[in-house]
């Protein structure tokens, strides 16, 4: 007997991570460029708020959708900074990380056989969560020649009578592309014309470079009523292990469904984490700006190194903390193979450098490799020194 979970993988990045950690356990030095976990500690005022919550005994059940101070802080943030139009703080729901938010969101909007359009390549878990919600992922290929922009005309050509929603992620994982406002406006217009929902994943909203603006989809005219916005504390505040995200839901019927799913899945996020998140949103934001500056420094170091290296052509990202590279036709291969896994395996075996094979992100990712520069600057610098030489040695 088959089950829907039989269609879900354990993930290529997990396999790479496990190999690296196994080698580390054997005493080998490894460089963790395979996954997007911020290297920074959480801001001091966030830690202090969590410590105070522990001292004050704030360790009991909370309101399932989030403690009132946190929901109020989120409402203030999404209405003032993101310029979303939601009625009040009852329309924000605290989730157990952004991934949990995506899971309950797709469960709330999809019926079996409904289609969700998404960019390809894309973070693997998006398609997995669409399937778990009973839906069918419909990929739209992003083109290097277009700067990996999610083109409105390509999206519209993928719409059918079964299309329920269009999923967007800007800044984008894995390419780091940031969607332009004019593209977003056209996507809103086609969603209005075809009466489909918009799901806006803004996990990397503050990890953005070179003065490029981040535009929240739900802030655009006509977008608000059909857009569900997904956020996380993991990237902006380096709170990845504390597992806290949130949704902004304008539609009362969807809000009702999502509240029920929260009750039946987690019935409330870790109470101490919630107090930390409230402090993060209402306190000083300097740490967030400094993190983004350091990520940009790491981006430039790694990009410059790959410009000197053979076999990989890097795309310079405007946001997120990944470098997306295309394997060139002259790549000689490794262990009898020339695919993206051969590059990933070669870098692990020869230099202890982690990366993610592009095929992990969808069919359009085949023949690519993603490097994460969310690890420490020291690791990025060391990887940057090693990569040109180790890649040149692959040729002979």
pLDDT band at 276 (very low <50, low <70, confident <90, very high): very high
Q: What is the pLDDT of residues 55-111, one digit of tens each?
A: 999 999 999 999 999 999 999 999 999 999 999 999 999 999 999 999 999 999 999
395 SS3 class: helix
Interatomic CA distance for residues 71 and 80, integer angstroms: 14
Q: Please give the pLDDT value at position 9.
A: 81
**Cis peptide preceding 171, ω within 30 of 0:** yes
pLDDT band at 228 (very low <50, low <70, confident <90, very high): very high
What pairing do the DSSP bridges indicate for beta strands 245-248 and 115-120? unpaired
**Cis peptide preceding 228, ω within 30 of 0:** no
User: What is the pLDDT averaged over residues 25-48?
Assistant: 95
Q: What is the pLDDT of residues 196-208, one digit of tens each?
A: 999 999 999 999 9
Burial class for 19, CB neighbours closer than 10 Å (0-12, 13-18, 19+): middle
Q: What is the pLDDT of residues 296-354, one digit of tens each?
A: 999 999 999 999 999 999 999 999 999 999 999 999 999 999 999 999 999 999 999 99
Q: Please give the pLDDT value at position 6.
A: 85
pLDDT of 4 over the 90 cut: no
233 SS3 class: coil
Beta bridge partners, 165, equal: 116, 197
What are the residue ranges of helices labelled H in the chain?
Answer: 12-25, 44-55, 68-80, 97-109, 124-132, 152-158, 181-194, 252-265, 271-282, 286-308, 340-351, 377-392
Q: Please give the pLDDT value at position 8.
A: 84
Q: Please give the pLDDT value at position 396.
A: 64
Query: In the 8-state DSSP scheme, what is residue 226?
Result: G
pLDDT of 261 over the 80 cut: yes
Q: Please give the pLDDT value at position 214.
A: 97
Token pair 């304008």: residue: 250
Q: Which residues contact 356 (CB under 8 A, 6 or more apart)?
A: 12, 13, 16, 34, 35, 174, 344, 369, 370, 371, 372
pLDDT band at 194 (very low <50, low <70, confident <90, very high): very high
pLDDT band at 224 (very low <50, low <70, confident <90, very high): confident
pTM of the model: 0.95
DSSP assignments along 152-216, one per residue: HHHHHHH--TTEEEEEEESS-TTT-----HHHHHHHHHHHHHHT-EEEEE-TTTT-B-TTPPP--
pLDDT of 7 over the 90 cut: no
- b/e 34-56 (16+ beta carbons within 10 angstroms → b): bbbbbbbebbeebeebbeebeee
Q: Please give the pLDDT value at position 316.
A: 98
Q: Which residues contact 289 (CB under 8 A, 6 or more apart)?
A: none
54 SS3 class: helix
Helix or strand holding residue 248 (H, E)? strand 245-248
What pairing do the DSSP bridges indicate for beta strands 163-169 and 227-232? unpaired
Structure tokens at 27: 């005493």
Q: What percent of the chain has pLDDT over 90?
A: 94
**Angstrom distances, CA of residue 173 to CA of 47, 152, 205, 354, 372:** 28, 18, 12, 17, 10
């Amino acid at each position: 007997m088959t089950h829907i979970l039989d269609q879900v993988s354990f993930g290529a990045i997990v396999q790479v991570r496990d190999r690296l950690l196994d080698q580390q356990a054997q005493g080998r030095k490894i460089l963790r460029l395979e996954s997007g976990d911020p290297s920074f500690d959480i801001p001091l005022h966030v830690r202090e708020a969590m410590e105070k919550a522990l001292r004050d005994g704030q360790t009991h059940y909370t309101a399932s959708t989030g403690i009132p101070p946190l929901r109020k802080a989120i409402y203030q943030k999404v209405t003032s900074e993101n310029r979303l139009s939601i009625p009040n703080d009852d329309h924000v729901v605290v989730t157990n990380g952004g991934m949990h938010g995506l899971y309950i969101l797709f469960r709330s909007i999809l019926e079996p056989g409904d289609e969700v359009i998404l960019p390809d390549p894309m973070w693997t878990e998006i398609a997995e969560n669409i399937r778990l919600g009973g839906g069918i992922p419909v990929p739209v290929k992003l083109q290097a020649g277009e700067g990996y922009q999610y083109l409105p005309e390509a999206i519209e050509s993928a719409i059918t009578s079964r299309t329920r929603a269009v999923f967007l992620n800007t800044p984008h994982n894995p390419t780091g592309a940031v969607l332009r406002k004019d593209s977003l406006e056209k996507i809103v217009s086609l969603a209005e014309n075809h009466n489909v929902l918009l799901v806006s994943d803004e996990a990397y909203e503050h990890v953005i470079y070179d003065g490029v603006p981040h535009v929240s989809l739900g802030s655009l005219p006509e977008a608000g009523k059909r857009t569900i916005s997904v956020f996380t504390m993991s990237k902006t505040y380096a709170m990845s292990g504390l597992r806290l995200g949130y949704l902004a839901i304008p539609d009362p019927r969807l809000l009702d469904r999502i509240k029920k799913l929260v009750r039946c899945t987690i019935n409330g996020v870790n109470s101490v984490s919630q107090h930390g998140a409230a402090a993060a949103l209402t306190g000083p934001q300097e740490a967030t700006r400094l993190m983004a500056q350091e990520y940009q420094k790491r981006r430039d170091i790694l990009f410059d190194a790959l410009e000197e290296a053979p076999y990989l052509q890097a795309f310079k990202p405007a946001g997120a903390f990944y470098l997306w590279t295309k394997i060139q036709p002259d790549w000689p291969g490794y262990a009898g193979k020339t695919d993206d896994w051969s590059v990933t395996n070669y870098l692990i075996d020869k230099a202890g450098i982690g990366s993610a094979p592009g095929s992990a992100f969808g069919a359009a990712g085949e023949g690519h490799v993603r490097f994460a520069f969310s690890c420490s600057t020291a690791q990025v610098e060391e990887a940057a020194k090693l990569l040109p030489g180790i890649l040149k040695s692959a040729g002979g």
